[in-house]
């Protein structure tokens, strides 16, 4: 079964990464088809914000159903398939473990089975996560490091990762995992701590909020820019040989440092306006999560362009251009 060259199918197209990826693909001349869990037009707000909502052909599909996915794949015959669909909040996965796993593992399997069953000549990208590694400690994680996830989200992403690797080896599929470390943009919803900090700092500066409550400020993360990361996704599917790549900046930053930079952008000392609330801590939390992007640099010619603290500056600039969100 031949693919339609220049046709891409993006699962989770209305999310942060899906929207930026759709724009990148459209700019490169692709016909972009999307599937999203959101059933109403309000769920396409990210596509609207990027000015591409009318350029993406949307489809209704139960993405965890192999038969439904096979029917969609047979109808579209896409050259490239990107699975970015998932419940993507690590914190929320503790409260909704079954829903999180169902949003990650069955859709991955459905795409793989659709490709195998139809014999589709396509290339598949699966969005993995640095959460699979658990605590990376002093050395940034590279692809060979064993997985030790510490959340239901990380467990689900690890299972999906190995499904992709297994189908690639067993059936010769061009299927790749991008092991994505934390990456941000103005499209992040407020439930993510980075967006909460930026919008909270603005609200404190504008005297709409007396104090911002946060959980564990001692954690260290590897924060990149979402537009850089979707470039890496696309590059992975242009490679002749499928493989798994860590997509990260390699630059460690603490959440305290993130908060300090965000408040400093408003001329404030974070220590006077942030309160640590133990109730906001997760049942388990990774102390350090940092990736090593060496393979992505050498194999894909990719490197991140935005790291801390410039990343925070960009988020603040974007926040100031938008109406303040409800707190």
**Where are the domains positioned within the chain?**
4-183+225-247, 189-221+251-290+306-321
DSSP string, 88-114: --HHHHHH-HHHHHHHHHHHHHHHHHH
- Three-class DSSP category at 117: helix
Query: Which pLDDT score is estimated for 326?
Result: 72
List per-residue pLDDT tens for the chain, 327 residues long: 667 889 999 999 999 999 999 999 999 999 999 997 655 555 899 999 999 999 999 999 999 999 999 999 999 999 999 999 999 899 999 999 999 999 999 999 999 999 999 999 999 999 999 999 999 999 999 999 999 999 999 999 999 999 999 999 999 999 999 999 999 999 998 889 999 999 999 999 999 999 999 999 999 999 999 999 999 999 999 999 999 999 999 999 999 999 999 999 999 999 999 999 999 998 888 999 999 999 999 999 999 999 999 999 999 999 999 888 776
In 119-151, which residue ranges form alpha helices assigned H by DSSP?
A: none
Beta strands in 181-284 (DSSP E): 183-184, 212-214, 220-221, 224-225, 245-247, 253-254, 274-276
Give the predicted TM-score (pTM) of the model: 0.96
Query: Which pLDDT score is estimated for 41?
Result: 57
Query: Which pLDDT score is estimated for 289?
Result: 98
C-alpha separations of 86 from 36, 108, 235 in Å: 10, 10, 21
Query: Which pLDDT score is estimated for 1?
Result: 63
Dihedral of the alpha carbons of 61, 115, 245, 284, in degrees to the nearest 10: 50
According to the CATH classification, is domain 4-183+225-247 in 3.30.2080.10? no
Query: Which pLDDT score is estimated for 38?
Result: 55
Query: Which pLDDT score is estimated for 37?
Result: 66
Fold adopted by 189-221+251-290+306-321: UDP-galactose 4-epimerase; domain 1 (3.90.25)
Query: Which pLDDT score is estimated for 5?
Result: 84
Could you list the active site residues? 129, 131, 153
Query: Which pLDDT score is estimated for 42?
Result: 59
CB 185, CB 16: distance < 8 Å: yes
């Amino acid at each position: 079964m031949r693919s339609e060259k220049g046709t891409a199918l993006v699962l989770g197209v209305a999310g942060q990464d899906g929207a930026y990826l759709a724009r990148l693909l459209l700019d490169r001349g692709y016909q972009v088809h999307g599937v999203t869990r959101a059933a109403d037009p309000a769920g396409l707000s990210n596509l609207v914000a990027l000015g591409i909502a009318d350029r993406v052909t949307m489809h209704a599909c139960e993405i965890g159903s192999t038969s439904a996915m096979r029917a969609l794949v047979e109808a579209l015959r896409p050259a490239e398939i990107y699975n970015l669909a998932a419940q993507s909040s690590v914190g929320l996965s503790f409260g909704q473990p079954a829903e999180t796993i169902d949003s990650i593992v069955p859709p991955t399997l459905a795409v793989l089975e659709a490709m195998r069953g139809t014999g589709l000549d396509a290339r598949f990208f699966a969005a993995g996560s640095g959460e699979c590694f658990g605590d990376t400690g002093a050395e940034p994680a590279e692809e060979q490091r064993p997985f030790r996830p510490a959340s239901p989200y990380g467990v689900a992403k690890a299972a999906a990762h190995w499904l992709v690797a297994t189908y690639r080896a067993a059936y010769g599929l061009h299927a790749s995992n991008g092991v994505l470390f934390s990456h941000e943009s103005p499209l992040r919803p407020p439930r993510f701590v980075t967006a909460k900090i930026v919008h909270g700092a603005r609200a404190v500066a504008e005297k709409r909020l007396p104090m911002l409550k946060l959980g564990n400020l001692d954690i260290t993360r590897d924060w990149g820019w979402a537009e850089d990361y979707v470039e890496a996704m696309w590059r992975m599917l242009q490679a002749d040989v499928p493989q798994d790549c860590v997509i990260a900046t390699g630059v460690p930053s603490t959440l305290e440092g993130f908060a300090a930079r965000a408040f400093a952008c408003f001329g404030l000392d974070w220590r006077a306006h942030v309160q640590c609330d133990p109730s906001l801590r997760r049942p388990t939390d990774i102390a350090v999560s940092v990736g090593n992007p060496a393979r992505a640099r050498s194999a894909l010619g990719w490197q991140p362009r935005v790291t801390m603290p410039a990343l925070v500056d960009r988020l603040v600039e974007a926040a100031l251009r938008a109406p303040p969100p409800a707190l």
